[in-house]
Amino acid sequence: MTNLSGASEAPAISGNATPESVDVAIIGGGLGGLALAAGLRRRGIDAHVFEAAPRLRNETSTMISLGPNAWVALQELHPDLPADLRWRGVEDCQVITRLRPPPGCGLEPTTIDRPGAATRLTTIRWAETQDALALLVPDEVVHCDHAAAGYTEEWGPAAEVGAEAAAGSGSGCGGAEEGAASVEAAAAAGRGPARSVLVHFRGGQPSVRAKLAVGADGIFSAIRAAMHPHEPPPRYLGHMNWNCLLHNPGGNTVVDAHKPGQVIFTSDGAVSASERREPSLMSYVCDAGGGYTFWQVRMQYEQPSFTVDLLRRQQREQEGRPQQQEEAEQEEQDNGGADEGSANVIIGGGGAGRRGRGGMGVPGSKARCLERLKAAGWDPMVPLVAATPEAAVFERALYDRLPLAEGQWAAPGRRVVLLGDSAHGMHPGPGQGARSAFEDAHQLALALEALWPDVPAAVERYLRARVTRANRVQRFASESCGLAAVRQAAAPPGLSPAQLWDRSFEFRAWFDQYPANMHGDPASTYWKPPPPSLSSEAAAAEAEAAAEGAAGGEGEAVEKEGEVPALAARKEEAAAAAAGTDGADLVSGGDGIGTTDVKADGAVVQVRVVAHDGGCNGRAAGAADGEGEDATGGGGGGAKVAAKGQGPAAGGGGGGGVQVTLAVVQAV
């Protein structure tokens, strides 16, 4: 049996008895939780998954994109994963970016066409990814209908502290040093180290004892809420999003949407070397594999704008009811509801009933998308959306989490730790949410394998490996968001559009080197590793201050001022090295340095690749962006494009670790 997303219905496995104790209790059976479970079980660790839903959810109407960092992490978690995922998805997609700024704004429409060999972008349905991961985790260790409510770390008696410290928390391989923090914390609190954790569930399910609990329960994490009860809820990022998967074999069976292997990104934003217009409307159409077309429409709103609210307001106005009555009703409904927001939270097929809630099939959502697309004159999108059943359209607001400092990813006893969106939920612009969750899972699996059974030591190692990097990625992702204040606070102040492109390009060049240069690329200008004095705690504090509109970004501003000339020198060197190389490399998989022509509206544009991602192993380019949308938003575009000469201002391709300079050479 298949559902609207085209994935097989996951077996109902809510009947599994709750175990009394397990090695590792993974809370959440999404992409991060299942990836960790697969990696740990392969390493002989008894990991169990506790999932709130009655079955592993597989109807999200979402697609994700994967690139080099994800492949490295997945390969090491389980060697069967990359081949299976590549088979289910579409590899090396061609990315077409259409920048359509409104007439009269001073920026020209531009189309950039990037061949598949240059993108290294794999598209795959979220549900297929989850299914591939779930296949590697035995059904009997996946416990659905287990919604975690919180946890209790169980501490040993104070007398254990001295022995524990002397024994280095019982481990070799650096365990003494790495476990020391939790031992010290215990000593300071007048108790022994934490020995285990009890995870509590809603609905009367018995608690489970574990050596480690991992909060992989998404952006609205209950485990994070228990860890940080006074923290504000996830932050709305200024974008409403509608996405859908439509069975449309060949990309043209139901409606003519795309060619096989194509990704088409359209935005009303645009960038030139000196100007930048932030998008207010974006669409994304692509081949999602398995005969499915994925489409997505994103609109900018200062406040969450759920269709259910709009319709309710209209109805109230028609009926002449007072606004206060509506607000009282909404408050009552809000208090009873579950949260919406992460990639795979489904609020029911019949449409969302509560204020501030999205979900599948919200009545009126499709008409809303159609109206906006027509108003913008984006005619190619209209038949596609019109052909889609409303029941398959998923409406959501986009949120992130403010960065946490290193120690805050774990409970004091180091028996509970966060992973994936619960630790670093981010704007999907650069397409790094799931990829970062896979990196988390990879690093936690490696740490536990190396240091087991010294869980606190392994957790410390995981925190050191992950937090600084994840915070930087998350902060960069917020540059793609729809709220100007958040976007501007996230980027270093004072950068020109051209410098933001440089930075965006360098982000990809750094990120795809994973696991090398974990916290920064020493050869880069904008993404150098933070100095030792700028610990991840300080980095998180800085990011938080920036996010709140305070004077963040100082460190990067210094880097910028001091080193932009160095970047320019590196570019010149690369360009000199490129002289005489054949531009066909861009498409043929050579080293990618050289020139090639791409089509832009009304012109043939020569693309000169002057440098590319050092981590791309001699191929033409690095991975393309998750959603390719950052070409105009400055978030992780990965392809740095600047216009030269006359003709249309150039925009950026949909990501990829290629740095290109465009020169218009011939009008057609």
- Distance between CA atoms of residues 508 and 622, nearest Å: 7
Of residues 281 through 340, those in contact with ligand FAD by CB under 6 A are none
Asked if 147 interacts with ligand FAD (CB under 6 A), we say yes
Amino acid (one-letter) located at 191: R
Lookup result for tokens 């960092």: 69
Question: Which of 6, 356, 433, 594 lies at the binding interface for ligand FAD (CB under 6 A)?
Answer: 433
Question: Which of 222, 270, 402, 500 lies at the binding interface for ligand FAD (CB under 6 A)?
Answer: 222
Question: Which of 7, 181, 197, 216 lies at the binding interface for ligand FAD (CB under 6 A)?
Answer: 216
Question: Which of 431, 482, 633, 637 lies at the binding interface for ligand FAD (CB under 6 A)?
Answer: 431
Question: Which of 6, 28, 192, 289 lies at the binding interface for ligand FAD (CB under 6 A)?
Answer: 28
Pairing label, strands 94-99, 262-267 = parallel
Token code pair at residue 112: 């950039």
Report which of 637, 648, 595, 662 is spatially closest to residue 501, judged by C-alpha positions: 637
To ligand FAD, the closest distance from the beta carbon of 227 in angstroms equals 13
Asked if 342 interacts with ligand FAD (CB under 6 A), we say yes
Residues 6+ apart with CB under 8 A from 284: 263, 264, 265, 266, 294, 295, 296, 298, 627, 628, 629
Surface-to-core class of residue 215, CB atoms within 10 Å of its CB (0-12 exposed, 13-18 middle, 19+ buried): buried
Asked if 33 interacts with ligand FAD (CB under 6 A), we say yes
Size of residue set near ligand FAD by CB under 6 A = 37
Asked if 395 interacts with ligand FAD (CB under 6 A), we say no
Asked if 65 interacts with ligand FAD (CB under 6 A), we say yes
Cβ distance to ligand FAD smaller for residue 54 or 172: 54
Surface-to-core class of residue 256, CB atoms within 10 Å of its CB (0-12 exposed, 13-18 middle, 19+ buried): middle
Asked if 381 interacts with ligand FAD (CB under 6 A), we say no
Report which of 348, 345, 356, 475 is spatially closest to residue 28, judged by C-alpha positions: 345
* Cis-peptide, bond into residue 193, ω within 30° of zero: no
Which element (helix H / strand E) includes 462?
helix 455-477
Give residue number: closest CB to ligand FAD: 30
Question: Which of 62, 480, 525, 606 lies at the binding interface for ligand FAD (CB under 6 A)?
Answer: 62
Question: Which of 4, 26, 50, 197 lies at the binding interface for ligand FAD (CB under 6 A)?
Answer: 50
To ligand FAD, the closest distance from the beta carbon of 284 in angstroms equals 9
Q: What is each CA distance from 301 to 441, 484, 558, in whole angstroms?
A: 34, 11, 33
Asked if 148 interacts with ligand FAD (CB under 6 A), we say yes
Q: How far apart are the first and last CA of the chain?
A: 51
> Hey, is 615 helix, strand or coil?
coil
Surface-to-core class of residue 544, CB atoms within 10 Å of its CB (0-12 exposed, 13-18 middle, 19+ buried): middle
Of residues 225 through 244, those in contact with ligand FAD by CB under 6 A are 241, 243
To ligand FAD, the closest distance from the beta carbon of 618 in angstroms equals 25
Cβ distance to ligand FAD smaller for residue 16 or 535: 16
Of residues 632 through 651, those in contact with ligand FAD by CB under 6 A are none
Q: Which stretch binds ligand FAD (CB under 6 A): 59-67, 512-520, 555-563, 629-637?
A: 59-67
Asked if 245 interacts with ligand FAD (CB under 6 A), we say no
Asked if 136 interacts with ligand FAD (CB under 6 A), we say no
Cβ distance to ligand FAD smaller for residue 401 or 528: 401
Q: Which stretch binds ligand FAD (CB under 6 A): 83-91, 432-440, 604-612, 657-665?
A: 432-440
DSSP string, 23-69: EEEEE--SHHHHHHHHHHHHTT--EEEE-SSSS-------EEEE-HH
Pairing label, strands 270-271, 658-667 = unpaired
To ligand FAD, the closest distance from the beta carbon of 435 in angstroms equals 4
Asked if 527 interacts with ligand FAD (CB under 6 A), we say no
Q: Which stretch binds ligand FAD (CB under 6 A): 22-30, 470-478, 557-565, 601-609?
A: 22-30
- Distance between CA atoms of residues 278 and 483, nearest Å: 10
Contact yes or no for 101/650 (Cβ under 8 A): no
Q: Which stretch binds ligand FAD (CB under 6 A): 23-31, 161-169, 377-385, 610-618?
A: 23-31
Asked if 30 interacts with ligand FAD (CB under 6 A), we say yes
Question: Which of 185, 186, 245, 437 lies at the binding interface for ligand FAD (CB under 6 A)?
Answer: 437
Residues that bind ligand FAD (CB under 6 A): 27-33, 50-53, 57, 62, 64-65, 147-148, 216-218, 222, 241, 243, 342-344, 420-421, 428, 431-435, 437, 626-627
